Amino acid sequence: MSNYLAIATVTATLQRILQAAVQLDVAGARVTTVRPDASGSSTPEVGVNIYLYQATPNPAWRNYDLRNRRPKGELIKQAQAGLDLYYIMTFYGNEVELEPQRLLGSAVRTIVDYPILTPEMIRETANNATFSFLANSTLDKQVERVTIVPSNMNTEELSKIWSVFFQSPYVLSFACQAGAVLIEGQRQSGRPLPIRRREFYTTPSQPSIFQIVSEAGVNQPAVASSSLTIRGQSLHPQINEERLQELENHQPLVRSKPQVRIGETRITPDNVEENEISLELSSVSTEEKNSLRAGIQSLQIVYSIAPKRVESEPERIVGSNVMPFVLCPTIAEVEVEDLEDNGDETYSAKMQVRIDLTVGVEQRALIFLNERSTSNPAAYIFEAAPRRRNSALVIFPIRDVKEGDYLVRVQIDGAESPLNVDVNSESETYEQFVSPAVTIG
């Protein structure tokens, strides 16, 4: 999601891409972002002015935040708002040489060529010395891309804008809309402990792979040490090799053993049957494990049907349908560093969490802290610090946390790490979540 600089970043990015275009089409043209009545009031200026005159809630995101609150309104995750931004462009120049109309054509062509603000375009704006005040913008991390589309505005609507907002003589204008801009709140929130058990049934709808079951049970997420059972039909089908050899001019064909493709990682299972494949994630190589990522993963059965004759030749494979499953991280170690007493019975620190899967730079990592207390337990959510490389060690800056013992979970792209349950029937914490845990204070 984006921080409070998102709106200004959209305006600045739009200004920058228009400036690059209009200065080539009309000599001396500039792009400004002031009120239309303040630009060219004495001497007409050759250029385009972009003015944000309205921001409204995006219809698709208007009620999204309500689903993230309890009945009394308390947040259960970070709040956010989706906005649509409405801009009016005004064009100035020599009317005899039709400069305003030429600038209008140049601006419309630019919007048609660049209807989506890509992360690269946004980063170029934030890194531009002219927009140094946008250096901390996080709009480039927004998953949903901001799009720029022309607005359908009739003469009456345009007249109202000029008479009510600007109260100045009309100048050739063009309106456009940017959305959706998602701004995330900073108010701290808590997340309840997970449900211990779910029981429901699903009906497979895909023809080849019917079901993926982890050792934890049906419809349960998997971890990096899980055993996966893949059920379906024709998981190791026979191939008419004689026919394929004829198509390959009698070149010998070698059919490889079926592989399980998880994301971009290929793993060769030990046990392959016609209707079931067993895969031990704990037995994969270090290289394969380092390429696995937590989150919602895609799983497919693939195998090669012919070797490459030259290196540039694409690999010929046969693949099944793709099935999704959740791969959760597991916390291996938690350390608290740079603990600082805020003086108001709260603490700030850096929490280093090492998990058993590599976290990519582009992945979103959150940490959930739940106080181990039966009297008004506290709960916190914090986001990981920015990372420059893929790593299994993730650092979470935490702030304003009261003293106590906390259960710790991490969430990587929506996949949460599990908590351990005390199974000792003689223990005081029998059937309760007990770890991973950390002490603050």
Question: What does the domain layout of the chain look like in residue ranges?
Answer: 6-184, 209-327, 331-440
- Please give the pLDDT value at position 105: 95
Given this model, what pLDDT does residue 417 score? 92
Q: Give the model's pLDDT for residue 70.
A: 56
Quote the mean pLDDT of the chain.
82
Bridge partner list, 177: 86, 149
pLDDT at 263: 81
Residue 315's Cβ-count burial label (10 Å; 0-12, 13-18, 19+) is: exposed
Q: Return the pLDDT at 122.
A: 93
Coil vs helix vs strand at 254: coil
Least confident window among 214-218, 366-370, 415-419: 214-218
Average pLDDT over residues 420-434: 90
Q: What average pLDDT does range 56-77 have in this prediction?
A: 65
The share of the chain scoring above pLDDT 70, in percent, equals: 82
Question: Could you give the C-alpha distances from 238 to 45, 202, 267, 303, 322, in angstroms and in order?
Answer: 74, 29, 21, 12, 20
Model pLDDT, residue 302: 82
pLDDT in tens, 18-39: 999 999 999 989 999 888 875 4
* Residue for token pair 């959760």: 328
Rounded to 5 degrees, φ, ψ at 176 are -145, 165
Q: Please give the pLDDT value at position 61.
A: 79
CA neighbours closer than 13 Å in the CB half-sphere of residue 92: 21
How far apart, in whole angstroms, are the C-alpha atoms of residue 320 and residue 322?
A: 6
Cα–Cα distance, 264 to 290 (Å, whole number): 11
Provide mean pLDDT across the span 159-169: 78
More confident residue, 184 or 257: 184
Q: pLDDT category, 63, cuts 50, 70, 90? A: low
So what's the pLDDT on residue 161? Answer: 81
Whether residue 402 has pLDDT greater than 60: yes
DSSP-derived secondary structure for 177-196: EEEEEEEE-------PPPPS
pLDDT digits (tens, 9 = 90+) for 305-344: 655 556 666 666 777 888 888 889 999 999 999 999 988 8
Is residue 374 predicted with pLDDT exceeding 90?
Answer: no
Angle at 275 between CA 273 and CA 279, to 5 degrees: 60
- How many other C-beta atoms lie within 10 A of the C-beta of residue 127? 11
**DSSP label at residue 61:** G
Please name every residue paired with 337 in a beta bridge, in sequence order, or none if there are none.
Answer: 350
Residue 205 confidence (pLDDT) = 36
Does residue 104 have a pLDDT over 50?
yes
Query: What is the pLDDT at residue 1?
Result: 64
Residues 151, 285: Cα–Cα separation, whole Å? 54
Picking from 12-26, 161-175, 206-220, which range would have the lowest pLDDT averaged per residue? 206-220
| Angstrom distance (rounded) from CA 106 to CA 121 | 19
* Residue 204 pLDDT > 50: no
Q: Is the pLDDT of residue 381 over 60?
A: yes
Predicted confidence at residue 43, as pLDDT, reads 40
Q: Rounded to an integer, what distance in angstroms lies between the CA atom of residue 190 and that of residue 58? A: 26
Half-sphere exposure of 277 (CA within 13 A, CB side): 29
CA distances for 54 relative to 85, 181, 388, angstroms: 6, 13, 37
pLDDT higher than threshold 50 for residue 88 = yes
Q: What pLDDT was estimated at residue 262?
A: 86
Residue 188: pLDDT over 60: yes
Task: Judge if pTM exceeds 0.75.
Answer: no
Please determine, for residue 112, whether its predicted confidence score (pLDDT) is greater than 50: yes
User: Of 64, 27, 152, 141, nearest to 384 (Cα)?
Assistant: 141
Q: Which CATH class is domain 331-440?
A: mainly beta
Q: What is the mean predicted confidence (pLDDT) over 90-98?
A: 91
pLDDT at position 166, please?
Answer: 72
Model confidence band, residue 281 (pLDDT cutoffs 50, 70, 90): confident
| Cis omega (within 30 of 0) for bond into 436 | yes
Least confident of 72-76, 114-118, 203-207: 203-207
Rounded distance between C-alpha atoms, residue 104 and residue 90, angstroms: 8
pLDDT for 110 equals 94
Report the b/e string of 45-56 with b at 16+ CB within 10 A: bbbbbbbbeeee
For position 72, what pLDDT does the model report? 56
What's the pLDDT at 184? 79
The predicted pLDDT at position 355 comes to: 93
Amino acid 234: pLDDT: 76
Q: Is the pLDDT of residue 200 over 60?
A: no
Question: Which tokens sit at 126?
Answer: 């934030």
- Confidence bin at 236 (pLDDT 50/70/90): low
